[in-house]
Structure 1
């Protein structure tokens, strides 16, 4: 499949490369070595020793993640609660909706956007301070692979200020990480935000600014030890996205993201459309409906092809990728957005 927007992407490549910095950190393997941990990729590794645990379980203990989810609708909230949210060390919903099965930290609709940010982060620090090293801030249309987030940030010092995600350009020349791609804050960044906002959330006034922009604005006021915060290119070494502001299908099918979508012009670090859009260690996708969340959870955590443990190699095929053209975007545009209404009580046992 060829890219539909070759001209657009050539314009993007002609732009001045945004100032960014790589995560200056030892590799994941070096981090494990410093901890005295050895990876065992043998097929029976989990049963070979009573001292062995799975890598996912080790990271769950070593890299605690608090998932902070903006609750908008009951169906989306329940889908997150039943699926990927279970992989967080702590799952916190906030918003104005109420649900008999899912606890939601109540924020009245009358509260201004700036105050919402302040109240939510203060609640997290007051109630869960010391229980997390990282916060993943998303809305309830996000599907996250929390294990991949832990893998990505494990070697980093969570006491320092880290602000990661899908960076987009402000018209004023600054940047912020888009809520659609998910925002990752180290514990140090959360504490810095709390300090910048002050003791009284009500003193922030009635500022009306989107939460993702406000978080970015505040953090840019709080220089890290290496100077002012700059946008981080969080793509993998092959320039494939980790924090994806669209659903899997939109990222995979060329032409699904409109030419007029601000994504193409505001994103500081673009990924290709098609099969090379997304990292094998992708962390987030956005615009995912409840049915798809159950599907993705199954595909991500239940299916397991017989490949060598500890590798990410694809199973062998009998031919290279076939070049038969397909008009998938037309199929996608006609797809119904399913919103089921019958999630039963038994789901929440």
Structure 2
């Protein structure tokens, strides 16, 4: 009698438990060794080669074999047509160690991905949008990028995602999350932080996504006359300022960027740190968050983003999330 294996739906919580065990055994040096091996094996031995992908590779990375959301079969074509533009904040020194891994993994799955840096780099490519440079000037980059997107890409996309160069995004889950959302509604989505901004602000590293109407109001209301929306030159935390600006525009951060069990979709830490939060971070994270955190509460099976994921760990997560199948 032949044995039949039934492939169940992808389960992120089970993968996270497996990741935790593996990551406790292997240290970062081993991850680095893995990265070097992976780069050699894929012929990305130099920055110029690493940034150059064939059409076949680009198409392969966009494929998905998970047509389920909350256990229900979607129209196989409908959710894949959600139009998302992603932009990633980076800097020249991070191109090889961070941004290149975004491009190698999830960056190619958005409808379009812009890499925003301090200088123009035609090889990668990256775009410089402001003369303000450095980590303390992330708000300048963010504000000018939203203006650029509004001017050049507004008609081509319905949703606009901001991420850092150490943010990992499961783009298929993002598209499925947005499939039944209205890009003209007066709300946007991300990891909800509650202090500083009356209506809340999104954790910048966890990424946040703004709909078409939200972007229009951000650029034409908040940027032009919002009393809280700071100018490009303000060296303030980008995520706090976007919270103030969106509040000025009349668009509120959703308090329900969670699944049907109330588990969060956007995460400020890497999977292992979301699962077992370092003691030093528990007071901050619990004070800022509005939903339960850590352990069994940490992560939805439909999670969308994780933060502080760099280099080889990003390759590793991408492999785990897109290749492992659970047998029952």
Alignment equivalent of 1:258, drawn from 269, 280, 286: 280
1:290 maps onto 2:305 in alignment: no
Find the counterpart in structure 1 of residue 86 from structure 2: 67
Find the counterpart in structure 2 of residue 26 from structure 1: none
Structure 2 gap segments, 5+ residues each: 1-65, 69-73
Moved runs in structure 1, 4+ residues, more than 6 A?
A: none
TM-score by length of 2: 0.68
1:216 maps onto 2:235 in alignment: no
Partners in 2 of 1:98 and 1:236 — Cα distance? 39
CA gap of 1:257–1:95, structure 2 versus 1, over 3 A, is: farther
Find the counterpart in structure 2 of residue 323 from structure 1: none
Q: 1:12-65, CA deviations, whole angstroms, 9 ceiling, x for partnerless residues?
A: xxxxxxxxxxxxxxxxxxxxxxxxxxx999xxxxxxxxxxx983x54232x111
Partners in 2 of 1:163 and 1:212 — Cα distance? 13
Structure number with higher helix proportion: 2
Find the counterpart in structure 1 of residue 255 from structure 2: 232
Q: Give matches, 1:157-176, under 5 Å.
A: 157-171=182-196, 173-176=198-201
Contact 1:242 1:284 in 2 (8 A): yes
Partners in 1 of 2:67 and 2:244 — Cα distance? 44
Instruction: Give 1:256 shift.
Output: 2.9
Aligned length: 247
TM-score by length of 1: 0.64
Find the counterpart in structure 1 of residue 43 from structure 2: none
Partners in 1 of 2:278 and 2:253 — Cα distance? 30
Partners in 2 of 1:257 and 1:127 — Cα distance? 45
Find the counterpart in structure 2 of residue 34 from structure 1: none
Instruction: Give 1:268 shift.
Output: 2.1
- Give the number of the structure whose alpha-carbon radius of gyration is greater: 1
Contact 2:83 2:111 in 1 (8 A): yes
Alignment equivalent of 2:323, drawn from 302, 319, 322: 302
Partners in 2 of 1:255 and 1:174 — Cα distance? 26
Q: Give matches, 1:28-177, under 5 Å.
A: 55=76, 58-61=78-81, 63-72=82-91, 73-74=94-95, 75-97=97-119, 99=121, 101-110=123-132, 114-171=139-196, 173-177=198-202
TM-align CA RMSD: 2.7
Partners in 2 of 1:145 and 1:205 — Cα distance? 30
Alignment equivalent of 1:247, drawn from 270, 284, 294: 270
Find the counterpart in structure 2 of residue 183 from structure 1: 208
